[in-house]
Amino acid sequence: MSDIKYKRIVLKVSGEALAGTDGFGIKPPIISKLADQLKEVTALGVQVAIVCGGGNIWRGETGAELGMERSQADYMGMLATVMNALALQDSLEHEDVPTRVQTSIEMRQIAEPYIRRKAIRHLEKGRVVIFAGGTGNPYFSTDTTAALRAAEIDADVILMAKNNVDGVYSADPKTNPDAKKYDELTQLDIINKNLKVMDSTASSLSMDTDIPLVVFNMNEPGNIKRVVQGEKIGTTIQG
Ligand code: UDP
């Protein structure tokens, strides 16, 4: 463990990151590549918790824009995160990585309810814990969930896994050739520069909890290992 910088991590995987290029649904080959990387870091003794997004299936905001009651639409979004969590669990188990899914909304037939102490115990035993269902409250996001769970389980870092984007840029690098990549930022920079890293609730919670955040490209094999070993890739954001 001597060459490990971050011993307990929260990996935030957005729904989009599981969906591939079309941005919709679940693509098992992508999840399986992620599982390979996670197997690699758990083998180093790193404790891994994952927060799954759900935007590849459903976003509450979209439902609300189409006339749905916002909370109802958000609960649908929370359920979407559970589907992603089960897909990720399946993939990790194919790699013989022990896992537990914990949901913020009880679904006892398919997952454990979220119990902080139990989650920590699983991590100590080398099990990957997948947090599903977001915070369990409408009007929140899974970015906020990542910031919250990271604080609750005393994680060393939050890793924001991105789909083919290798950090935070001043503008969208896909459309603006002048976009500049930042190596280091603070949460205050994110809010002041209005950078699209996480929503403002998640940013302000991260600022309070002071847990660093690394935004990196998860599609590059070995990148999760590079981050936990302290290699400077992506963008690091301090609280
Ligand atoms: N959601 C929610 N409360 C939470 C987390 C998520 O209501 O604590 C809902 C919300 O509708 C959101 C959806 O779940 O649009 C999917 O989560 P998110 O948008 O954070 O997923 P991602 O963008 O990471 O794929």
Whole-angstrom distance, CA of residue 239 vs CA of residue 14: 21
**pLDDT, position 200:** 86
**pLDDT, position 1:** 59
**pLDDT, position 163:** 85
User: 74 CA distance to ligand 1 centroid (A)?
Assistant: 7
Q: Is the minimum distance from the CB of 54 to ligand 1 under 6 angstroms?
A: yes
**pLDDT, position 194:** 87
Whole-angstrom distance, CA of residue 76 vs CA of residue 138: 10
Going from the C-alpha of 239 to that of each of 14, 63, 171, the distances in angstroms are: 21, 32, 22
Whole-angstrom distance, CA of residue 19 vs CA of residue 21: 7
Q: Is the minimum distance from the CB of 167 to ligand 1 under 6 angstroms?
A: no
The answer to whether the CB of 16 falls within 8 A of the CB of 55 is yes
Whole-angstrom distance, CA of residue 39 vs CA of residue 85: 16
Quickly list DSSP for 117-138: HHHHHHHHTT-EEEEESTTSST
How does residue 45 score in pLDDT terms, banded at 50, 70 and 90?
Answer: very high
Mean pLDDT of the chain: 95
Going from the C-alpha of 52 to that of each of 43, 102, 133, 180, 205, the distances in angstroms are: 22, 11, 8, 28, 18
CB atoms within 10 A of CB 117: 9
**pLDDT, position 119:** 98
Q: ipTM greater than 0.95, yes or no?
A: yes
User: 55 CA distance to ligand 1 centroid (A)?
Assistant: 7
Whole-angstrom distance, CA of residue 99 vs CA of residue 136: 21
Q: What is the pLDDT of residues 155-198, one digit of tens each?
A: 999 999 988 889 999 998 889 999 999 999 998 898 888 898 89
Q: Is the minimum distance from the CB of 63 to ligand 1 under 6 angstroms?
A: no
225, two tokens? 């290992």
User: 4 CA distance to ligand 1 centroid (A)?
Assistant: 31
User: 116-124 and 142-152 are packed helices; what angle lies between their axes, rounded to 10 degrees?
Assistant: 70
Q: Is the minimum distance from the CB of 15 to ligand 1 under 6 angstroms?
A: yes
**pLDDT, position 22:** 84
Q: What is the pLDDT of residues 71-107, one digit of tens each?
A: 999 999 999 999 999 999 999 999 999 999 999 999 9
How does residue 2 score in pLDDT terms, banded at 50, 70 and 90?
Answer: low
0.90 surpassed by pTM: yes
Q: Is the minimum distance from the CB of 78 to ligand 1 under 6 angstroms?
A: yes
Which residue minimizes the CA distance to atom 22 of ligand 1? 53
Q: Which of 124, 162, 144 is CA-nearest to residue 201?
A: 144
Query: Domain 1-133 is in which class?
Result: alpha beta
User: 140 CA distance to ligand 1 centroid (A)?
Assistant: 7
Ligand 1 atom nearest residue 59's Cα = 15
- In degrees, rounded to 5, the angle at the alpha carbon of residue 6 between the alpha carbons of residues 140 and 222 is 90
Q: What is the pLDDT of residues 103-121, one digit of tens each?
A: 999 999 999 999 999 999 9
Whole-angstrom distance, CA of residue 80 vs CA of residue 202: 20
User: 51 CA distance to ligand 1 centroid (A)?
Assistant: 11
CA atoms within 13 A on the CB side of 106: 2
Task: Please choose from 12, 71, 78, 143 the residue to mutate so as to test ligand 1's pocket, defined by most ligand atoms within 8 A of CB.
Answer: 78
Ligand 1 atom nearest residue 17's Cα = 25
Whole-angstrom distance, CA of residue 230 vs CA of residue 227: 5
**pLDDT, position 173:** 86
Q: What is the pLDDT of residues 3-20, one digit of tens each?
A: 899 999 999 999 998 998
**pLDDT, position 154:** 98
Domain ranges across the chain: 1-133, 167-215
Q: What is the pLDDT of residues 223-238, one digit of tens each?
A: 999 999 999 999 999 9
